[in-house]
Amino acid sequence: MLLQTAQYGTGQTPNYDSGPEPESNHPVDKELGTEDGDQLFPISSEQRAYVQKYVVKNYFYYYLFRFSAALGEEVFYITFLPFTHWNIDPYLSRRLILIWVLVMYIGQVAKDILKWPRPFSPPVVKLEKRMIAEFGMPSTHAMAATAISFTLLISTMDRYQYPFGLGLMMAVVFSTLVCLSRLYTGMHTVLDVLGGVLITAVLIVLTYPSWTLIDRLDSASPLFPVCVIVVPFFLCYNYPTSDYYSPTRADTTTILAAGAGVTIGFWINHFFQLESKPLDSRSVIQHIPPLTADVLVLGLIKFAVGIMLVLLVRQLVQKLSLQVLFSWFKVVTRNKEARRRLEIEVPYKFVTYTSVGICATTVVPMLHRFLGLL
């Protein structure tokens, strides 16, 4: 549990005791400032005057829910989803990514349309400063966790034979931990979390009948990759505007671009035969393959090779795309404010993460095959 030990409002002068300097809780102070500390956007005196300190009283809950919160962030997606594709089943990864992209886009857009504020601080203590600039309703952490866990459950029921009760329990525990972490970290209200879970449940129910049809569209037409690129880019470029900068648009672009890249990769894989075809719904694999030492070592090697290549591509494409855009718009290199401009942020992130998606689904499996890891 967290114990808040100091609060200051407008007009009050902080009188700090010994210890680390308290950090501002307002998003603009750190996320929206330049390297020199200059303000990019106006903020009120009330927002600037509030600071707080807290003491962790229960480290078990603290680390449990900080870890659970990480299960709904980029570090989890960029490891779990590729791992599923490379080591478990490309069929499952296709469905997971499809639902993840759909759910996250709707959740991110809903935030900037509804513009519901996050919980006020005080009384809560906010532990995630990067997310403070975003609005609260719905909780996209709760949406992603619910979508991934229950999509995985539904997609494996007719493909693998295992105790359904165990799978359901794991899905509930995973999504519940992520949902509770949003309350513990002070980033969402109960209503935000319940709204996210409910929206995701409705989306899964509505889209489930078309999962198989969408899954088979990868090789339907030569124009399919064009549509996959144009539509997501249009959605990113016409994202709802906000009164001040927040990472919501950038995160949404990252998600849609990754989904577009992965989908194009699946389309390419149809010609190279690098992935398994979806099984008929009546076909059931009797047993999940046992996790032996050889299988574990092979999986870790494949993951290490793949993730290093993905990160390398991400770094190279990001630098190259930024250099091109900075040169095109005559912007000073490494200008953080310029990177947040619509005409720079959306293209560089879209190109970067589309490349990452194609690399993860096509280039990495080809490398695995070349190295004899398949």
**pLDDT tens string 321-359:** 988 888 888 877 666 777 778 888 889 999 999 999 999
Pairwise pLDDT comparison (188 vs 199), residue with the higher score: 199
Per-residue pLDDT averaged across 200-208, rounded?
92
Report how far residue 72's alpha carbon sits from residue 80's, in angstroms, rounded to the nearest whole number: 11
Q: What is the pLDDT of residue 302?
A: 92
Mean pLDDT of the chain: 78
Residue 144 exposed, middle or buried by CB count within 10 Å (0-12, 13-18, 19+)? buried
Residue 45 exposed, middle or buried by CB count within 10 Å (0-12, 13-18, 19+)? exposed
Per-residue pLDDT averaged across 352-371, rounded?
91
Q: What is the pLDDT of residue 306?
A: 92
Per-residue pLDDT averaged across 228-234, rounded?
90
Whose CA is closest to 142, among 178, 113, 168? 178
Q: What is the pLDDT of residue 358?
A: 93
Report how far residue 338's alpha carbon sits from residue 328's, in angstroms, rounded to the nearest whole number: 12
* Cβ contact 139:193 at 8 Å: yes
Continuous segment of H or E residues that includes residue 241: none
pLDDT for 2 beyond 60: no
Provide the β-strand partners of residue 39. 33
pLDDT for 1 beyond 80: no
Pairwise pLDDT comparison (76 vs 21), residue with the higher score: 76
Q: What is the pLDDT of residue 261?
A: 92
φ, ψ for residue 10, nearest 5 deg? -60, 135
Sign of CA dihedral 214, 218, 223, 225: positive
Q: State CA 31 to chain mean position distance.
A: 19
Q: What is the pLDDT of residue 128?
A: 75
Report how far residue 108's alpha carbon sits from residue 275's, in angstroms, rounded to the nearest whole number: 31
Pairwise pLDDT comparison (331 vs 183), residue with the higher score: 183
pLDDT for 202 beyond 90: yes
Continuous segment of H or E residues that includes residue 6: strand 2-7
Per-residue pLDDT averaged across 54-59, rounded?
77
Which DSSP state fits 280?
P
Q: What is the pLDDT of residue 317?
A: 94
Q: What is the pLDDT of residue 15?
A: 36
Residue 348 exposed, middle or buried by CB count within 10 Å (0-12, 13-18, 19+)? buried
Active-site residue numbers?
141, 188
pLDDT digits (tens, 9 = 90+) for 74-90: 778 888 888 888 888 88
Per-residue pLDDT averaged across 123-150, rounded?
83
pLDDT for 156 beyond 80: yes
pLDDT for 48 beyond 70: no
Report how far residue 362's alpha carbon sits from residue 159's, in angstroms, rounded to the nearest whole number: 23
Q: What is the pLDDT of residue 150?
A: 93
Residue with tokens 């603009």: 28
Which DSSP state fits 335?
-
pLDDT for 120 beyond 70: yes
pTM score, whole prediction: 0.77
CA distances (Å), origin 246, targets 137, 186, 226, 367: 15, 18, 29, 38
pLDDT for 93 beyond 70: yes
Report how far residue 282's alpha carbon sits from residue 158's, in angstroms, rounded to the nearest whole number: 7
pLDDT for 8 beyond 70: no
When mean pLDDT is compared over 67-76, 221-230, 275-284, 356-365, the highest value belongs to: 356-365
110-114, 159-163, 192-196: range with lowest mean pLDDT: 159-163
Report how far residue 309's alpha carbon sits from residue 360's, in angstroms, rounded to the nearest whole number: 8
